[in-house]
Structure 1
Amino acid sequence: MAMLTTSNAHHSALNDLYQQHHAWLRNWLGFRLNCRFDAEDLAQDTFMRILRSTNREPIQRPREFLATIAKRVMVDFIRRKTLERAYLEALAQLPEQEMPGEDERLAVLETLQEVDAMLDGLGTRAKQAFLLAQLEGLEYRDIALRLGVSLSSVKKYMAKAMEHCLLYRLTHETA
């Protein structure tokens, strides 16, 4: 019963936070994004992230807290948009007869976003080595030559990348 009370108190506090600060957050995001539609979406995403959080501590400075979460949401949003733009630019280079259908484009874009999320936080060299091995099928010695590093460095990068991906999968699996 104590858990239910704690949960109800938490949801009540989140509801109050939303009621008191949603408009401010939407305007704050709108100023930074220069698009009220994206600002509305990201404000909702910010509150959803807070709702899914396991942190039940009282929020001392709500606007600072919301701005911190919203900045992280914006970084994810901008990264997704950049990835989407790069993919669409690559598609534009294809001859029309090789253009994938809408469903295939959406599936590829979703996969690219998942790979990007999986590799987030991985060092640049480890990410490069992993992508060269997985996407271009390069051997470790070829990756070493391409990156200008030793073979043992490539092995370390790949081990780190594999561990990073495994941890991501374990923490993001859906039952």
Structure 2
Amino acid sequence: MSAAESIPQQHAHAVRILYSEHHDWLFGWLRKKLGCAHNAADVAHDTFMRIIASRDALLGVEQPRAWLATTAKRLIIDRARREVLEHAYLAEMAVLADSLPCHPAPDEILMALEALDQIGAALQAINARAREAFMLHYLDQQTHAAIAVHLGVSVRMVQKYLVQALLACRHRCAALA
């Protein structure tokens, strides 16, 4: 067995151990935090999916429950931001529907929601800081300088994060077209 083959096996073994030792705790913690077993199950699942996707993330984790909780909290924040975006879109559509003589066709609404899904998938594929910069700028309408202070980076780095996010969105949408 080569070294390259043993790394995925070690990762899979580490994930199995992490899951078996901490999934019930994480699910219970999320159920208390979210007040809904279904949402807790979804976030717990997404937490472990994110961990599986990060190949070398299990190396050197000394406090797995803190790590799982932090990952889950970030996913909850991402979900909340997506819901805010969706609600803002639907509210804007309602305003437009009241002011326009015709309503958007159901297929147009579906296309818009699919576009939001594609943007969400593209943002999941980039690093967390770039995703956060994107959300802060485009959803919370914060300036580059405010985002730089929030993230503890330079304005130039914020600009790089935003370019990275926009390129990921463009790539994702082009790949699906």
Superposition TM-score tier, normalisation by shorter sequence: 0.5 to 0.7
- For 1:165 and 1:27, how far apart are their aligned partners in 2? 36
3-state DSSP class of the match of 2:61?
A: coil
Query: 101, 108, 111: which one pairs with 1:107?
Result: 111
Indicate the structure whose relative CO is greater, using CA pairs within 8 Å and at least 6 residues apart.
2
* Aligned match for 1:76, one of 67, 78, 85: 78
Greater gyration radius? 1
Query: Following TM superposition, by how much is the alpha carbon of 1:112 offset from its aligned partner in structure 2, in angstroms?
Result: 4.2
SS in 2 for 1:98: coil
Runs of 4+ in 1 over 4 A off after TM superposition: 115-118, 159-163, 169-175
Percent identical pairs in the alignment equals 34
Where does residue 120 of structure 1 map in the other structure?
A: 135
How many aligned positions are there?
145
User: Counterpart of 1:89?
Assistant: 91
Whichever residue aligns with residue 106 of structure 2, its letter is E
**Which residue matches 2:19?**
18
Distance apart, 1:171 and its partner CA: 5.6
Q: In 2, Cα distance between the equivalents of 1:29 and 1:103? A: 35
Q: State the Cα RMSD in Å.
A: 3.2
Change (3 A) 1:26 1:107: farther
TM-score (norm 2): 0.66
Contact kept in structure 1, 2:22 and 2:65, CA below 8 Å: yes
Q: Which residue of 2 aligns with 1:4?
A: 5
